[in-house]
Amino acid sequence: MSASEQDDSETPLDLAVVGGGPCGLSCGIEAGRRGLSYRVFEKEGIAASIQRFPVGMPFFSTPERLELGGIPLTCAGMRPTREEMLRYVQRIVEHFAIDVALYTRVESIEPRAAGGFDVHTTRGTVAARNVVVATGYYDRPNPLEVPGIDLPHVSRYYDERFRYAGTDVLVVGGGNSAIEAALDLLRGGARVRLVHRRAELKPTIKYWVLPDIEKRIEEGAIPAEFETEVRAIREGSVTLGRIGEAQTHDVRADFVLALIGYAPEVELLADAGVEIDPETLIPKRDERTFETNVAGLYVGGSIVSGRRTSRIFIENGRFHARDLVAAVARRVEAPR
């Protein structure tokens, strides 16, 4: 379904799915297989989070671990690229005729007194007996509140290596996104410097990536400053300072990539009455069915892990759909 006007019929959907990423689309596939009426609401285009991946960069998983709906994912190499994955997801939507409303943001989920929900979107309100929120986190970078963060040469995402060739690039962060970007930039001909607030890289760095970045730092190919923070960003330079110290120093930077992680958007759940852990941002839910403390409202995919974004990826988040849609089907089939 394209970004057309929504059907505001009083007949409620069995399931409204918020988020059109791999988990949300998998929910649509499972709902269709069970004969449930459903619709997937996506605020951007198909697989918008994958669209933000760097151009040409391969996934770090083999094809069989990324498959949706049991349909094989084929690729030219051992691992699919961003472009191959996007084409695959588009074919999945077409193959299963997934009912997906693109460029349709869900603004609120309002529980009805008699059961079910009113799902308020930018294109109207849809009634649904059950709702699953599978919105992920990749479109909400963690804040970095320093002067100059909004300058045009500063980005919260890494796009591709070739535009940075021959330039000085400061990469801020110590997790997988920052490390993979730094290594790719180095191979693309950029002069890369890494800055991280902690004393060492995050322990969640992929084990096959860690030796590479440690070697590049040790040999000086990627200068790294730990326990250091960005104090200000200007055109052509960045002011850095050691954590807890007043003294600062400037380094050259034609570009700044602030890759300090992402956090889930839990306001939609909280406003609907879901209990959210204030520290971890993990929503309260049943471990088996993924139903939250609000009856009929479910969570799936990476939003399940809250701030602990390294725990759930496409590889395991896609399986949430099977269990939670099975739980939805039981609710729909129960006498009302």
Kindly list the domain boundaries of the chain, sorted by start residue: 15-140+263-333, 154-258
Whether residue 8 is predicted with pLDDT greater than 80 in this model: the reply is no
Q: Is 15-140+263-333's fold the same as 154-258's?
A: yes
What does the block give as tokens for 179?
Answer: 């490390």
Residues 199-231 have pLDDT tens digits of 999 988 888 889 999 999 999 999 999 999 999
Tell me which architecture the domain covering 15-140+263-333 has in CATH. 3-Layer(bba) Sandwich (3.50)
Q: Where are the beta strands (DSSP E) in 189-273?
A: 191-195, 224-225, 228-234, 236-242, 248-253, 255-258
Q: Is the dihedral of CA 108, 112, 116, 122 positive or negative?
A: negative
User: Which DSSP helix (H) or strand (E) runs through 133?
Assistant: strand 131-133
Looking at residues 279-283, what average pLDDT do you find? Answer: 91
User: What helix, strand, coil percent values describe the chain, rounded to 5?
Assistant: 25, 25, 50
For β-strands 15-18 and 38-41, DSSP reports them as parallel
How many whole angstroms separate alpha carbon 66 and alpha carbon 72?
9
Q: Which of 36, 95, 37, 103 is nearest to 68 (CA)?
A: 95
Q: For residues 127 and 108, give the distance between their C-alpha atoms in angstroms, rounded to a whole number.
A: 12
In angstroms, rounded to a whole number, what is the distance separating the alpha carbons of residues 172 and 253? Answer: 12
pTM above 0.95, yes or no: no
Mean local confidence (pLDDT), 54-72? 83
First to last CA, the chain: 30
Residue 201 has, within 13 A of its CA and on its CB side, a CA count of: 21
Task: Return d(Cα 44, Cα 136) in angstroms, integer.
Answer: 13
Superfamily assignment of 154-258 in CATH? FAD/NAD(P)-binding domain (3.50.50.60)
The pLDDT value recorded for residue 317 is 64
Is residue 195 predicted with pLDDT exceeding 60? yes
| Helix or strand run (H / E) with residue 110 | strand 106-111
**9 has pLDDT over 70:** no
> 210 to each of 51, 78, 203, how far by Cα in Å?
25, 21, 9
Region 8-16: mean pLDDT is 83
- The whole-angstrom separation of Cα 84 and Cα 62 is 12
As a whole number, mean pLDDT of residues 5-23 equals 81
Kindly tell me if the per-residue pLDDT of 4 is higher than 50: no
Q: Using alpha carbons, list the distances in angstroms from residue 107 to 25, 115, 120, 140.
A: 19, 19, 6, 16
Q: Which whole number is the average pLDDT over 126-151?
A: 90
Nearest 5°: the CA angle 256, 262, 266 is 145
The answer to whether residue 66 scores a pLDDT higher than 90 is no
Residues contacting residue 234 through CB under 8 Å, at least 6 positions apart: 148, 151
* Pairing state between β 236-242 and 106-111: unpaired
Please compute the mean of the pLDDT values over residues 78-95 and round it to a whole number: 92
